[in-house]
Amino acid sequence: MEYLYDAWYVAAMSSEFPDDGIFAREFLGVGVAMFRQADGTIAAVRDQCPHRFAPLSRGKCIGDTIECKYHGLRFNGLGECVLNPHGDVIPPNAHIRHFPVEERFGLVWIWMGDPDRADRRKIPDLEFLQQSDYRRTIFNYIFAEYRSDILVDNLVDLSHADYLHVGTFSGGPGEDTQLKVWEEGDAVVAERVQIRAPTPPIAGFLGPYTDSTFLLKWQPGNVLSYSIRMVSSDPALHGEELQQFAHIVTPANHERTHYFMAVTRPLNGRDPPIEARAANQRRVVSEEDGPMLMAVHQQMDGRELMSLNPLVLPTDAASLRIRRVIKRLKKRDSADLVPLS
Q: Which domain holds residue 45?
A: 8-122
pLDDT reported for residue 276: 82
Q: What angle do CA 310, 315, 317 make, to 5 degrees?
A: 80
**Do 100 and 145 lie in a common domain?**
no
Answer left, alpha or beta for residue 334, where phi above 0 means left and psi between -120 and 50 means alpha.
left
**Do 103 and 151 lie in a common domain?**
no
pLDDT reported for residue 110: 98
- Given a cut of 90, whether residue 298 has pLDDT beyond it is yes
The whole-number average pLDDT for the span 241-251 is: 92
Number of structural domains (the chain) is 2
**Do 41 and 152 lie in a common domain?**
no
pLDDT in tens, 72-95: 999 999 999 999 999 888 998 999
Q: Confirm whether 191 is domain-assigned.
A: yes
pLDDT in tens, 6-50: 999 999 999 998 888 999 999 999 999 999 999 999 999 999 999
pLDDT in tens, 101-121: 999 999 999 999 999 999 999
- Given a cut of 80, whether residue 293 has pLDDT beyond it is yes
**Do 82 and 155 lie in a common domain?**
no
Distance between CA atoms of 263 and 252, rounded to whole angstroms? 23
Q: Confirm whether 63 is domain-assigned.
A: yes
Mean of per-residue pLDDT scores for the chain: 92
Amino acid at 251: P
With CA atoms as reference, report the closest residue to 7 among 136, 150, 120: 120
pLDDT reported for residue 335: 44
**Do 193 and 323 lie in a common domain?**
yes
Q: What is the share, in percent, of the chain residues with pLDDT greater than 90?
A: 80
**Do 136 and 112 lie in a common domain?**
no
Q: Confirm whether 341 is domain-assigned.
A: no
Distance between CA atoms of 264 and 277, rounded to whole angstroms? 9
pLDDT band for position 334 (50/70/90)?
Answer: low
pLDDT reported for residue 202: 81
Answer left, alpha or beta for residue 89, where phi above 0 means left and psi between -120 and 50 means alpha.
beta
For residue 55, the domain's CATH number is 2.102.10.10
Q: Confirm whether 229 is domain-assigned.
A: yes
Q: Confirm whether 209 is domain-assigned.
A: yes
**Do 256 and 320 lie in a common domain?**
yes
Distance between CA atoms of 118 and 195, rounded to whole angstroms? 43
Distance between CA atoms of 122 and 119, rounded to whole angstroms? 6
CA 32 distance to own-chain centroid: 17
**Do 187 and 89 lie in a common domain?**
no
- Dmax over CA atoms of the chain, in Å, equals 82
Domain boundary among 80, 103, 122: 122
Distance between CA atoms of 262 and 100, rounded to whole angstroms? 23
3-class DSSP state of 317:
helix
Domain boundary among 90, 122, 154: 122
**Do 142 and 110 lie in a common domain?**
no
Domain boundary among 56, 90, 122: 122
**Do 213 and 261 lie in a common domain?**
yes
Phi, psi dihedrals of residue 334, rounded to the nearest 5°: 50, 40
Q: Confirm whether 340 is domain-assigned.
A: no
**Do 115 and 233 lie in a common domain?**
no
pLDDT reported for residue 268: 63
For residue 241, the domain's CATH number is 3.90.380.10
- Given a cut of 90, whether residue 235 has pLDDT beyond it is no
264: Cβ–Cβ under 8 A, 6 or more apart, which residues? 128, 129, 135, 136, 137, 244, 245
Q: Confirm whether 1 is domain-assigned.
A: no
User: 286-303: b or e for each residue (b if 16 or more CB lie within 10 Å)?
Assistant: eebbbeebeebbeebeee
Q: Confirm whether 136 is domain-assigned.
A: yes
pLDDT band for position 136 (50/70/90)?
Answer: confident
**Do 153 and 220 lie in a common domain?**
yes
